[in-house]
Amino acid sequence: MNAQPQAAFSADALQSRLPKVGTTIFTVMSALATERGAVNLGQGFPDFDCDPRIVDAVAQAMREGANQYPPMAGILPLRQAISSKVEAIYGHRYDADTEITVTAGATQGLLTSILAIVHPGDEVIVIEPNYDSYLPAIELAGGIPVFVTLEAPDYALPFDRLAAAITPRTRAIMINTPHNPTGTIWREADMRKLEAIVRDTQVLIVSDEVYEHMVYDGQRHESVSRYPELAARSLVVSSFGKTYHVTGWKIGYVAAPRALTAEFRKVHQFNVFTVNTPMQVGLARFMADPAPYLELPAFYQRKRDHFRAGLEHTRFRMLPSDGTYFQCVDYSAISDLPEAEFAKWLTTEIGVAAIPVSAFYHEPHESGIVRFCFAKKESTLDEALGRLAKL
């Protein structure tokens, strides 16, 4: 009997897990900036070198043979260094053995946090505009995002709407301070309001704190780790890439109470298993000197102030930048184009790449605002400012 011919595979039959996800705006704008020879103030990465001592520490680790698998949770000296740093700054002690996990960057830490705690049908409150990995992570876990929207120009936290968004199906709230893309920060009063909102619930918190060392004008970073009630229900995500100007290294960490960390590590061990060894060894040694992260606020404030002084000679209206290395501007005095179109025009015609803030909302949301990154050499900022001043 002749076998029936088998149908050829068709990609059209493939059901996407993330049907709404395409090429990110960061990739699009960076490619356009390269094509047009524009100054790239879009994607958030430094164009200056990191401290050569940290490179030397990693190279030394390689030469010493630290080139095989490390422990799944990360090498103990690095976890101990993280624990000591957090305790010194925020007054909360995470156990290095059971409450800190080294991750392949903050994005992996965020994804793994969501996959570890969110079940199909769970609701996750997202405060938007938000970093673009949040929604795909929730969707991959089968969760349902519930949006609380911040509005320009002040992007004030609407705690009444946040409280109203909590239902019996709410599993977690995602917060981000300092906030990407707006540059706003949470203050103590905000954390106290969050405490009150979740106090009589079982709601968890995923706190994205990758810009923790970039808070300006004498203000302090309000980590959830400072607040025992919040720390007890939170997974805190941070990034060595942001702190040490090595975004391409993709190393971060997640700190959480023992029970949450146990669930996090169940996913982590099958997500990436562990993170490259020599960089962990190098970072552990480099962290013995706290000066690089303690001096970071002043370092970036100088860049922020230099950039803002230059923007005074343009037609952009600056929004506050209390944290991160981003500056948002209102361009309504220059153009009435939608944000994405204005960003493309600015890149193509003026030669400076920016990111439309509308890209950080889950559906069209126009405010006439774009975001610049000032984590650049002074010469790069000056070149961009010279072009922007011609508008």
Domains of the chain: 19-44+294-388 (3.90.1150.10), 65-288 (3.40.640.10)
pLDDT, tens digit, 9 for 90 and up, residues 157-198: 999 999 999 999 999 999 999 999 999 999 999 999 999 999
CA angle 177, 203, 97 (to 5 degrees): 70
Position 192, amino acid: R
pLDDT > 60? residue 1: no
Extract the tokens encoding 100. Answer: 């800190």
CA distances in angstroms from 163 to 157, 167, 196, listed in the order given? 11, 9, 9
pLDDT recorded at residue 4: 65
Cβ contact 382:352 at 8 Å: no
* Stated pTM of the model: 0.96
**Residue percentage of the chain with pLDDT more than 90:** 93
Rounded CA-CA distance 359/152 in Å is 14
Residue 245 C-alpha from the chain's centroid: 14
pLDDT, tens digit, 9 for 90 and up, residues 304-358: 999 999 999 999 999 999 999 999 999 999 999 999 999 999 999 999 999 999 9
CA distances in angstroms from 240 to 81, 104, 250, 285, 306, listed in the order given? 12, 10, 8, 13, 25
